[in-house]
Amino acid sequence: MFPIDIDFSRLKEVLIYDPQAPMIFSSGIFLWLFAAFMVVYVLLQHKYTARILFVTLFSYYFYYKSSGTYFFLLAIVTVCDFLLAQLMYRTEGYWKRKGLVTLSLGVNLGLLAYFKYTNFLGGIIASLMGGEFTALDIFLPVGISFFTFQSLSYTIDVYRKEIQPLTSLLDYAFYVSFFPQLVAGPIVRARDFIPQIRKPLFVSQEMFGRGIFLILSGLFKKAIISDYISINFVERIFDNPTLYSGVENLMGVYGYALQIYCDFSGYSDMAIGIALLLGFHFNLNFNSPYKSASITEFWRRWHISLSSWLKDYLYISLGGNRKGKIRQYLNLIITMFLGGLWHGASWNFVLWGTFHGVALAMHKIWMTITGRRKGEQSHGWRRVFGIIITFHFVCFCWIFFRNADFQNSVDMLGQIFTTFRPQLFPQLLEGYWKVFALMLLGFLLHFAPDSWENAVCRGVIRLPFVGKAVLMVALIYLVIQMKSSEIQPFIYFQF
């Protein structure tokens, strides 16, 4: 036996919100909290209401650790949309139902507009009127774009009579706040998630193994590939593109394409994996998007929960393809314009979204001219050529997505097309060999056949519990090594 000395003051600092270190899945403190959470979760496996309440409270605490006291916004959205859905279900009049769903849109989009777009819109209005605008000090709560869209999907589905509203506020709070997908998605539809809430807790060997695999692969993509190449290479290029040659700028763009994919998809993989460990199924959110041979296929593979949300609740609401070809092309551009604005209150996001909208419209025109059917895929060298073109178009758009300053994007493109200097590549490779090794590994894994990933996943599933435990310990050790400053100061073991 050995005494344990706990520094409670440091423990308190770790458990309260720190704006400099919001909690995410790859943080060391989350692993400790999640381990304790799982113990209680398993003990409550046969207590449905108690388990749902416990997970909801933990989810609110998780959001508090991510955004501080702004967790009350989550409660406002939850209560408002729960009550509005109840009223809609009991209301028969068309205009009354229309008014209720409009009120839900007003609450959700109003919160989103205030916290995310007040300064952006204020600057635009001031410039149009020839005045000056002083930006307000408005904190942007983490994940507000995700939980407002998720809650909106519920009220819109109730309005369309595609689902019946929940009768329990606790169940709805559980759905909106479920912590695996709360702050960074995927956006989970009510129709997919709500039927799972009151089911008996069951985690099969296949679910457990797949969950471990997704957590491991997600952590590798986000915490190793994405973070490393971002800090050690990509940020340097994008911060000062004119200091580097064209070949260095091009490699920076390729690096960012990999970084943003590994960051977004890695977090989604971890969210889906954690949900599986808790007995819940989420749909696939990223499906090797750089394998796409067209921009339309890219948006079927990239951030699938967001692209499908935009299609079902925005594109279709605008008329979709039901009002003629010209209107369809315009609807695509409007949808992607607003999709770009959803990513952030800045002209660079608007431009990025507009580029993609125009590309989608042009692809639809090309499909009409060539007589190709929807969903028909090319093969052989034609597909290879399509993948190369699509990837480079996406990379071109990433330049404007990443650079908040339009001039930086112009400078970067200018360096690539006028000061390329390919003879510098060997020197670049020698100086950043670790970065390029990770980039090569990341792209090889991304473009590898799906059967390879499925084979590795099946291997993890077949491992005995001890083998899975070893993988989990290795995962925890890796994260502790990376985030050791978060967890070591508040507990000491004295031998």
- Give a yes or no: residue 363 inside a domain: no
Q: What is the pLDDT of residues 330-366, one digit of tens each?
A: 999 999 999 998 988 888 999 999 999 999 999 999 8
- The pLDDT assigned to 483 comes to 46
Among residues 46, 281, 303, 343, the one annotated as catalytic is 343
> Do residues 225 and 441 lie in contact, with contact meaning Cβ atoms separated by under 8 Å?
yes
Same domain, 212 and 193: no
Q: What is the pLDDT of residues 158-168, one digit of tens each?
A: 999 999 999 99
**Lowest-confidence segment of 222-226, 363-367, 475-479 by average pLDDT:** 475-479
Same domain, 140 and 222: no
3-state secondary structure of 29: helix
Question: What's the CA dihedral at 383, 384, 385, 388 to 10 degrees?
Answer: 120
Q: Which amino acid is at 468?
A: K
- The pLDDT assigned to 51 comes to 93
* pLDDT above 70 (res 14): no
Distance of CA 61 to the CA centre of its chain: 20
Residue 2 to residue 15: CA distance in whole angstroms: 25
3-state secondary structure of 492: strand
Q: What is the pLDDT of residues 366-377, one digit of tens each?
A: 888 887 777 667
Residue 344 to residue 80: CA distance in whole angstroms: 25
β-bridge pairing 4-6 and 491-493:
antiparallel
Cis (ω within 30 of 0) for the bond into 186? yes
Which residue in the block uniquely carries the two structure tokens 């597909």? 383
Same domain, 50 and 161: yes
**Lowest-confidence segment of 6-15, 71-80, 245-254, 309-318 by average pLDDT:** 6-15
- Give a yes or no: residue 344 inside a domain: no
Backbone angles phi, psi at 130, to 5 degrees: 75, 20
> Do residues 479 and 6 lie in contact, with contact meaning Cβ atoms separated by under 8 Å?
no
- Give a yes or no: residue 317 inside a domain: no
Listed in sequence order, the DSSP H helices in 240-315 are 246-277, 295-301, 304-310
- Give a yes or no: residue 264 inside a domain: yes
Q: Out of 146, 174, 198, pick the residue that ends a domain.
A: 198
Q: What is the pLDDT of residues 172-196, one digit of tens each?
A: 999 999 999 888 779 999 999 999 9
Which pairs from 135-139 meet CB under 8 Å and 24+ separation? 138/114, 139/67, 139/68, 139/70, 139/115
Q: Which of 251, 259, 250 is nearest to 229 (CA)?
A: 259
- Segment 269-289 mean pLDDT: 93
Q: What is the mean pLDDT of the chain?
A: 86
Same domain, 258 and 187: no
**Lowest-confidence segment of 53-62, 63-72, 186-195, 433-442 by average pLDDT:** 63-72
Same domain, 403 and 456: yes
**Backbone region of residue 235 per phi and psi (left: phi > 0; alpha: psi in -120 to 50; beta: other values):** alpha
Q: Out of 198, 221, 252, pick the residue that ends a domain.
A: 198
- The pLDDT assigned to 378 comes to 74
**Backbone region of residue 6 per phi and psi (left: phi > 0; alpha: psi in -120 to 50; beta: other values):** beta
Structure tokens of 65? 């650790």
Residue 262 to residue 257: CA distance in whole angstroms: 9
Q: With bands split at pLDDT 50, 70 and 90, how would you rate the model's confidence at 405? A: confident
Same domain, 126 and 167: yes
- Segment 421-450 mean pLDDT: 92
- The pLDDT assigned to 377 comes to 73
Q: Which domain holds residue 73?
A: 22-198
DSSP 351-386: HHHHHHHHHHHHHHHHHHHHTPPTT----HHHHHHH
Same domain, 285 and 161: no
- Does the global pTM surpass 0.95? no
**Annotation says 343 is catalytic:** yes
- The pLDDT assigned to 491 comes to 33
- The pLDDT assigned to 19 comes to 67
- Give a yes or no: residue 90 inside a domain: yes
Same domain, 34 and 163: yes
- Give a yes or no: residue 7 inside a domain: no
> Do residues 31 and 14 lie in contact, with contact meaning Cβ atoms separated by under 8 Å?
no
- The pLDDT assigned to 494 comes to 32
- The pLDDT assigned to 481 comes to 59
Structure tokens of 22? 């919001």
Same domain, 163 and 239: no
Same domain, 174 and 209: no
**Lowest-confidence segment of 220-224, 241-245, 308-312, 441-445 by average pLDDT:** 220-224
Q: C-alpha angle with apex 385: 381 to 389, nearest 5 degrees? A: 170
- The pLDDT assigned to 91 comes to 86
- The pLDDT assigned to 210 comes to 92
Residue 292 to residue 294: CA distance in whole angstroms: 6
- Segment 438-455 mean pLDDT: 93
Question: What's the CA dihedral at 228, 232, 238, 243 to 10 degrees?
Answer: -160
Same domain, 36 and 121: yes
Same domain, 387 and 412: yes
Residue 59 to residue 100: CA distance in whole angstroms: 28
Structure tokens of 110? 């109003």
Distance of CA 353 to the CA centre of its chain: 16
- The pLDDT assigned to 390 comes to 96
> Do residues 101 and 177 lie in contact, with contact meaning Cβ atoms separated by under 8 Å?
no
Distance of CA 397 to the CA centre of its chain: 18
* pLDDT above 80 (res 245): yes
Instruction: State how many domains the chain has.
Output: 2
- The pLDDT assigned to 26 comes to 67
- Give a yes or no: residue 462 inside a domain: yes
Biggest distance spanned by C-alpha atoms of the chain: 78
Q: Out of 173, 198, 223, pick the residue that ends a domain.
A: 198
